């Protein structure tokens, strides 16, 4: 018989508003799990620190100690949620899973923080995932009609109810049966009542998940994480990527690999290399830093311009700017200084807050910019609001010319697979030509890397073959996973 012991919570909740109901419940988050290691929760907290870039709104950990589950979750950064030694002392056990949340839908409430814990007839179970279930609204409606009661606005909770309704003979079989009913892009961790740690990637492997192992832990020490940088922080050795459609089961019997979906190929998210992953991570065999510097080199070859300095928009533009400077021979300078104590402004809820966020997060280095022809390097342009503010800032610092170069193709389509991008009518590249975009953001010139240049930087010379190995739907509109609306109607096959 498993027991669940909730601990101190750092926020209260309120009623669910209509805005919190699932429409496109996508979010780019981080997951981390440990099995068979002393201080599993402390290791998980460290792993979440290394994945902080994947979500800054909230964090949570569930641990398992014998037959008892322990949970703590809160709103804020990992250090704020788990910085209290008294809190960490309550999260006992040698197995734990954790989650960082990057909010997109569901509202800023504690009930929308993962992992989710549920008591079943067969015992307790905790689940956390990164990504988006594209048929979550349809499944949710069907489950509610069957009598299921949802406590959050997260699509993760769909897994919980599907597992509860399954009649499969084992917990692993229930998990597989639930996974076969959902569509979407996800990396999922589950902590089972018998002490098993399970990890699963969606059939096309859109979202990342890696396997590592800690030294000196006997038969244990297994680690699952969104990125290899989270392994590095706890001294774990990278073993391999969890493959597309793979389910790994880790327990006292060892580690077992299952393939519940069969072979369906791999469409890893190319935007992980461009923006989301930490530059010191290695994903799908590619060092992210190397990929970004090579993108910068290709960008310089494709769209060079006479200039005095190459300046990155920190931090995600830095590696590409280094590559651009190396290839072009133009000096690299830190012409924009970032305040690292301010959260991301990639997507903020209102224009007013977004504009304030840019001013709080970046400041111009006038000594570098004054009188110079500047090449600004950034990872992407979404709405264009941030780009306009950055260009204005650089001009106000005295730059003679401002040329913007972007380390990705134009973002013309929303992502439904786990990255928060707005609807198409809010995407600048969906509504304007490159020349029009340059005028709107106030740049003297604007250029994006081509698809050929992007995939060449990733080591793929054949663009068509490379496009079949990656998900680049935000650039092309080619969605590899079926999309359905709230009523279950097919939007795209």
pLDDT at 465: 74
How far is 291 from 269, CA to CA, in rounded Å?
Answer: 14
pLDDT at 222: 98
Length of the chain: 493
Rg (the chain; Cα; Å): 23
Of 23, 17, 20, give the one whose Cα is nearest residue 487: 23
Summarised one tens digit per residue, pLDDT across range 219-261 is 999 999 999 999 999 999 999 999 999 999 999 999 999 999 9
**Whether the Cβ atoms of residue 168 and residue 176 lie closer than 8 Å to each other:** yes
How far is 124 from 191, CA to CA, in rounded Å?
Answer: 9
pLDDT at 487: 56
Give the largest CA-CA distance in the chain.
72
pLDDT at 5: 65
> What residue numbers does the annotated binding site for [4Fe-4S] cluster cover?
269, 415, 471, 474
> What residue numbers does the annotated binding site cover?
269, 316, 378-379, 415, 471, 474
Q: What is the DSSP letter of 105?
A: S
Domains and CATH numbers, the chain: 22-266 (3.60.20.10), 286-476 (3.40.50.2020)
> What residue numbers does the annotated binding site for Mg(2+) cover?
316, 378-379
3-state secondary structure of 157: helix
How far is 79 from 90, CA to CA, in rounded Å?
Answer: 16
**Whether the Cβ atoms of residue 114 and residue 54 lie closer than 8 Å to each other:** no
How far is 292 from 257, CA to CA, in rounded Å?
Answer: 32
Q: Which residues contact 315 (CB under 8 A, 6 or more apart)?
A: 338
Q: Which residues contact 316 (CB under 8 A, 6 or more apart)?
A: 274, 275, 378, 379
29 among known catalytic residues: yes
63 phi, psi to nearest 5 deg: -115, 160
How far is 291 from 461, CA to CA, in rounded Å?
Answer: 14
> Strand 222-225 vs strand 210-213: parallel, antiparallel, or unpaired?
antiparallel
pLDDT at 170: 94
Q: Which residues contact 147 (CB under 8 A, 6 or more apart)?
A: none
pLDDT at 14: 28
Q: Which of 10, 26, 29, 62 is catalytic?
A: 29
pLDDT at 139: 93
Of 313, 244, 224, give the one whose Cα is nearest residue 275: 313
Mean model confidence pLDDT for the chain: 88
pLDDT at 2: 52
Cα 266 to Cα 204, 392, 456: the distances in Å are 5, 41, 18
pLDDT in tens, the chain (493 residues): 455 566 544 433 322 222 222 333 334 799 999 999 999 999 999 999 999 999 999 999 999 998 899 999 999 999 999 999 999 999 999 999 999 998 654 456 788 899 999 999 999 999 999 999 989 999 999 999 999 999 888 889 999 999 999 999 999 999 999 999 999 999 999 999 999 999 999 999 999 999 999 999 999 999 999 999 999 999 999 999 999 999 999 999 999 999 999 878 899 999 999 999 999 999 999 999 999 999 999 999 999 999 999 999 998 999 999 999 999 999 999 999 988 776 544 444 555 555 555 567 889 999 999 999 999 999 999 999 999 999 999 999 999 999 999 999 999 999 888 776 768 888 999 999 999 999 999 999 999 999 999 999 998 767 667 778 899 999 999 999 877 655 555 565 4
Bridge partners, 160 (sequence order): none
pLDDT at 7: 57
pLDDT at 326: 98
**Whether the Cβ atoms of residue 438 and residue 446 lie closer than 8 Å to each other:** yes
Cβ-based burial of 365 (10 A; exposed 0-12, middle 13-18, buried ≥19): middle
> Strand 184-191 vs strand 490-492: parallel, antiparallel, or unpaired?
unpaired
């Amino acid at each position: 018989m498993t027991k669940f012991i909730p601990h101190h919570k750092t926020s209260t909740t309120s009623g669910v508003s209509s805005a919190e109901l699932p429409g496109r419940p996508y979010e780019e988050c981080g997951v981390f799990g440990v099995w068979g290691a002393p201080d599993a929760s402390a290791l998980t907290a460290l792993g979440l620190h290394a994945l902080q870039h994947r979500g800054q709104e909230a964090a949570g950990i569930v641990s398992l100690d014998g037959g008892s589950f322990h949970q703590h979750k809160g709103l804020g950064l990992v250090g704020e949620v788990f910085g209290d030694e008294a809190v960490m002392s309550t999260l006992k056990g040698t197995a734990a899973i954790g989650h960082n949340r990057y909010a997109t839908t569901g509202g800023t409430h504690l009930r929308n923080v993962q992992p989710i814990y549920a008591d079943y007839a067969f015992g307790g179970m905790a689940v956390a995932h990164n990504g988006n279930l594209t048929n979550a609204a349809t499944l949710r409606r069907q489950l509610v009609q069957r009598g299921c009661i949802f406590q959050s606005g997260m699509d993760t909770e769909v897994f919980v109810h599907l597992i509860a309704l399954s009649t499969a003979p084992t917990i692993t079989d229930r998990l597989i049966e639930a996974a076969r009913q959902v569509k979407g892009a996800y990396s999922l961790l589950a902590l089972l009542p018998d002490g098993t740690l399970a990890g699963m990637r969606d059939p096309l492997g859109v979202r990342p998940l890696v396997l590592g192992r800690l030294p000196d832990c006997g038969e244990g020490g297994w680690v699952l994480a969104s990125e290899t940088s989270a392994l590095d922080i706890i001294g774990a050795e990278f073993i391999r990527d969890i493959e597309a459609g793979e389910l790994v089961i880790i327990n006292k019997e060892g580690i077992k690999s299952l393939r519940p979906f069969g072979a369906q190929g791999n469409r890893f998210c190319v935007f992980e290399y461009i923006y989301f992953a930490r530059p010191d991570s290695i994903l799908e065999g590619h060092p992210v830093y190397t990929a970004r510097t090579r993108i910068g080199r290709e960008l310089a070859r494709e769209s060079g311009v006479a200039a005095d300095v190459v300046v990155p928009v920190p931090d995600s533009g830095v590696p590409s700017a280094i590559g651009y400077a190396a290839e072009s021979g133009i000096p690299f300078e830190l012409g924009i200084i970032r305040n690292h104590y301010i959260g991301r402004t990639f997507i903020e809820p209102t224009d007013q807050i977004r504009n304030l966020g840019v001013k709080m997060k970046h400041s111009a280095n006038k000594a570098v910019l004054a009188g110079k022809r500047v090449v600004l390097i950034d990872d992407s342009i979404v709405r264009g609001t941030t780009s306009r503010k950055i260009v204005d800032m650089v001009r106000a610092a005295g730059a003679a010319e401002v040329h913007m170069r972007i380390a990705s193709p134009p973002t013309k389509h929303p992502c439904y697979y786990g990255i928060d991008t707005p609807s198409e009518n809010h995407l600048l590249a969906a509504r304007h030509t490159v020349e029009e975009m340059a005028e709107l953001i106030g740049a003297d010139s604007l250029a994006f890397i081509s698809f050929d240049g992007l995939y060449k930087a990733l080591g793929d010379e054949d663009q068509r073959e490379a496009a079949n190995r990656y998900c680049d739907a935000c650039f092309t509109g080619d969605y590899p996973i079926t999309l359905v609306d709230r009523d279950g109607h097919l939007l795209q096959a």
